[in-house]
Structure 1
Amino acid sequence: MAAPIDCCQNRNYSAAISEYNKIFRSDLKSLKELQEKAITVLISGKDCICSLPTGYGKSLIYELLPFIDHGCLVIVIAPLNAIIKQQVQKLCGMAMCFSGVNDISRLKSGEISYVFSHPEEILQSRELNDAFTSDRLNTRKIYLVVDEAHCILQWGDEFRPEYRNLSNLRSVFKCQVLALSATVTESGPKQIISNLLMKNCQIICASPAKDNIELIVKKRPSPNTKGNTASSPYDFIFSHVITELNCQLDAFPLTVVYCKSMQWIRYGYEMARQLLADNFYAGDKTQQNARVVMFHSSMEKGSGQLKDMIISSLQKADSCIRLIISSVALGMGADLKYVRRVIHAGPPTTLETYVQEIGRSGRSDTSAQAILYYNNNDLAAQHMRNEMKVYCRGERCYRELINEYFGFKAVQKPSVCCNRCQPEHGLEWDFDKLSIA
């Protein structure tokens, strides 16, 4: 058990929150219990692993450090450009993105409090490594933050191998290490501690199955059943979702539908254009007024303006967008406060990915739904992990299955849990107009 936080520390945190709000024009009132606990661990000189649910506010832990430990430098390693761009914009002139071609004079002069980088760039930059050995930076307290730390476990052999080499940074500068994730399994912390050479490390964790998300699992048609076609499993889902959108329009709860291939993302989008007709747009027929959008990795190949426009729109409570048909690209680091429902048209291959993706919903602590559709073809797919099959075929509480996989044996259930505990829940998603097998 962690040592109690004394009154002096609480006063310091209050002052830090006040200064943080003033600089970033925020309205943060207080810290959540585990945010406060993590900060206390770090400023005491220990390393820390935080495995907290999506939307808990993990980034706030490192964002507040310069306001508590004045003069410190926070180096954040992140896997995706979207995460880095979002955070650098949020932290304004106090932050910089290091891409290997930056002018680092502001870092050397002490003007910068946060440095964001990919592992490949920070590890391969001789200029940056030399800067950290300079007298100016060598005297600063440094916190090394590894965001989405589960990437160390999932990547690192052939795909982005530098994730396994981040411990090399500890030979360049002395630092406290903070590893952040929402989906670290029971054995994960030991591997992260070993990989990052963490010492005197404290682990802070909470169940990844958020209480405000109702878990619903349903079967969908198989394309192999007599009378069905390849599109039947998707018609089953899209036709009902789009019909509901056409009835409710702007009252339709913001919904993400995840599909595994571009073929079915485009298919759902075109179905929406046809079925919604003039209701596809909320006003003039411009992209900014579209109620339905696609989101996928190939959007990066252009200027990125459309992707930025969608993410920016989704930050607003009054966004025109009501339905996002997406690939896994709408995943880690996407801070979408107003999503109320996530639908999977087929299960992802791992339970870690599933928990990450359903965490796009319910981030403002409002009630939300996660609806997963599967068929036997889905479960027979190559690389489908056994724990995902067990979850889909779950014969008991779906929340318990998630919690047990991530090492939480006894967690109190919310009043609205899942359609295994409460079979009457989610009946509106039990469509029966197509044969199921």
Structure 2
Amino acid sequence: MGNDVFISLPTGSGKSLCYWILPKAFDNLYNTSGSLVIVISPLISLMKDQVEAIRTRGITAVYSESLLCNLEWRDMLQSPVFADKLVAFVIDEAHCVKKWGTEFRREFSNLVEVRSLIPASVHIMALTATATLSSRTAICQILSMVNPTVVSVSPNKPNIKYHVNRKEGDIEETFAPIVEEVRSCRLSMDRVIIFCRSYDDVAHIYLFLKNGIGCENVEPIGAPDLAKFRLVDMFTACTVPNVKECIIKSFTNVTSPLKIVVATVAFGMGLDCSNIRRIIHWGPPNDIESYIQETGRAGRDGKKATATLYYNGNDFKFDRVDVSMKEYCKNIDTCRRTLLLRDFDQTGKLSIGNCKCCDICTSVCKCILCSQ
């Protein structure tokens, strides 16, 4: 009974609710109790954040850092008691199955093995914020999803304005205005994520910001240089777990002093932070899907936000960046939103068609403000 389900909804749409409610829904539907759902997430920090959020809503939840490689978990999956209560197998951030499964998280390419360990009656739910038609097909094939019901909404976020700039100067020249903004605005400054493609760039930009702000990088001034007091911090896969947890909690707390996080893509996935106003990319991500995923973390509250990408020819020396992403960077005459969204399910026209859309649209806009 039922179907596999593929869900693609924009960042901030509340995708997590789709599986949070499953146990209760099955309990009510079949007049039973104790229904179980397995949820696969790509990052430990994301697991912890989700478990904490679920528990605050009165739902029992635990997490494990290993499933396929843990014999006790494998035995539990095949136990009659567990099998009788299991109602769904969920893969959150399902785009990682395709992007990470061959390199970063090889276990992701083996998730289909779990299906062989659970009853055939238990269906798969895959969720993501970004999946082109070709990616959706690939993910469904990797997970052996059978005739899935597809729920898909365009990832277009009209409140985000897109900009692309060449790296004309060095890091110091580019980010000097942000140093001044932090020093002058402090707690009134909007939240910003600066994404970098390498650990070296993360460290370089963070140290420049930190050194430029100096002793004023903590709130209140004079507080210890600890994560919970910083206005600017950095986050990579190498950041120690307790500091990662502190940064995530601080960035999602509207009253905390943390305003800027310089990070790799390890930061931000599944982050429940509604008031991020700017996303800056120092170098392009691998592909359009990743860019939409990362920029989509801005403006989750529906208010105006900006996404700015800096690039130069050195970013394209390796095969890491695909053709569509290169085209987006080098484009000088086509609405950026149109390029970003052309391979996704769409309803209506893509471009907003005015100066609120992107830098290209601003350059040709004839409104009163742009004409002055």
Distance 1:188 1:328 in 2: 19
Distance 1:409 1:396 in 2: 19
Distance 1:298 1:128 in 2: 27
Residue 351 of structure 1, aligned match among 277, 283, 288: 288
Would you say the 8 A contact 2:97–2:109 is kept in 1? yes
2:251 counterpart residue number: 314
Distance 2:208 2:138 in 1: 45
Tell me the C-alpha RMSD between the 2 structures. 2.3
Residues 379 and 240 of structure 1: is their aligned pair in 2 closer, same or farther, counting only changes over 3 Å? farther
Residues 133 and 380 of structure 1: is their aligned pair in 2 closer, same or farther, counting only changes over 3 Å? closer
Counterpart code for 2:358: C
Distance 1:125 1:381 in 2: 37
Pairing of 1:256-267 with structure 2 (within 5 A):
256-267=193-204
2:8 counterpart residue number: 51
Aligned length, in residue pairs: 348
Counterpart code for 2:62: M
* Stretch deviating more after TM superposition (144-153 or 414-423): 414-423
TM-score, length basis structure 2:
0.86
1:166 aligns with 2:111: yes
Residue 88 of structure 1, aligned match among 39, 51, 70: 51
Counterpart code for 2:337: R
1:420 counterpart residue number: 360
Residues 289 and 169 of structure 1: is their aligned pair in 2 closer, same or farther, counting only changes over 3 Å? closer
Would you say the 8 A contact 2:36–2:86 is kept in 1? yes
Q: Percent identity?
A: 33
Residues 353 and 376 of structure 1: is their aligned pair in 2 closer, same or farther, counting only changes over 3 Å? same
Would you say the 8 A contact 2:153–2:345 is kept in 1? no
Would you say the 8 A contact 2:179–2:209 is kept in 1? yes
Residue 265 of structure 2, aligned match among 307, 322, 328: 328
3-state DSSP of counterpart to 1:356: helix
Measured after TM superposition, the shift of residue 141 of structure 1 is 4.5
Would you say the 8 A contact 1:403–1:411 is kept in 2? no
Detail structure 1 runs of 4+ shifted over 4 Å in the superposition.
Answer: none
1:98 counterpart residue number: 64
1:148 aligns with 2:93: yes
* Stretch deviating more after TM superposition (236-245 or 125-134): 125-134
Distance 1:53 1:375 in 2: 29
1:183 counterpart residue number: 130
Residue 294 of structure 1, aligned match among 219, 234, 243: 234
Measured after TM superposition, the shift of residue 278 of structure 1 is 4.0
2:30 counterpart residue number: none
3-state DSSP of counterpart to 1:97: coil
User: Which protein has the larger Cα radius of gyration, Structure 1 or Structure 2?
Assistant: 1
Residue 41 of structure 2, aligned match among 78, 92, 108: 78
Distance 1:376 1:157 in 2: 27
Measured after TM superposition, the shift of residue 268 of structure 1 is 2.5
3-state DSSP of counterpart to 1:264: helix
1:220 aligns with 2:160: no
Measured after TM superposition, the shift of residue 74 of structure 1 is 0.8
1:397 counterpart residue number: 335
1:195 aligns with 2:142: yes
Distance 2:8 2:247 in 1: 28
Measured after TM superposition, the shift of residue 359 of structure 1 is 2.0
Would you say the 8 A contact 2:335–2:351 is kept in 1? no
Would you say the 8 A contact 2:158–2:357 is kept in 1? yes
Counterpart code for 2:53: K
2:223 counterpart residue number: 285
1:136 counterpart residue number: 81
Would you say the 8 A contact 2:299–2:305 is kept in 1? yes
TM-score, length basis structure 1:
0.74
Distance 2:319 2:76 in 1: 47
Q: What's the CA shift string for 1:271-309, capped at 9, x where partnerless?
A: 323432343222133223221111122113xxx222211
Distance 1:388 1:333 in 2: 23
Residue 385 of structure 1, aligned match among 322, 346, 354: 322
Residues 360 and 169 of structure 1: is their aligned pair in 2 closer, same or farther, counting only changes over 3 Å? same
Would you say the 8 A contact 1:403–1:409 is kept in 2? no
Would you say the 8 A contact 2:337–2:358 is kept in 1? yes
Distance 1:132 1:262 in 2: 38
Measured after TM superposition, the shift of residue 172 of structure 1 is 2.2
3-state DSSP of counterpart to 1:123: coil
Counterpart code for 1:59: S
3-state DSSP of counterpart to 1:179: strand
Would you say the 8 A contact 2:8–2:131 is kept in 1? yes
Measured after TM superposition, the shift of residue 315 of structure 1 is 1.3
Distance 2:208 2:99 in 1: 35
Measured after TM superposition, the shift of residue 407 of structure 1 is 4.7
Residues 237 and 132 of structure 1: is their aligned pair in 2 closer, same or farther, counting only changes over 3 Å? same
Measured after TM superposition, the shift of residue 241 of structure 1 is 1.7
Would you say the 8 A contact 2:78–2:117 is kept in 1? yes
1:276 aligns with 2:213: yes
Residues 160 and 275 of structure 1: is their aligned pair in 2 closer, same or farther, counting only changes over 3 Å? closer
Would you say the 8 A contact 2:251–2:259 is kept in 1? no
Distance 2:115 2:320 in 1: 35
Distance 2:216 2:105 in 1: 43
Would you say the 8 A contact 1:346–1:378 is kept in 2? yes
Distance 2:109 2:157 in 1: 30
Measured after TM superposition, the shift of residue 370 of structure 1 is 0.6
3-state DSSP of counterpart to 1:148: coil
3-state DSSP of counterpart to 1:197: coil
Counterpart code for 1:371: T
Would you say the 8 A contact 1:220–1:236 is kept in 2? no
Residues 272 and 204 of structure 1: is their aligned pair in 2 closer, same or farther, counting only changes over 3 Å? same
Would you say the 8 A contact 2:130–2:292 is kept in 1? yes
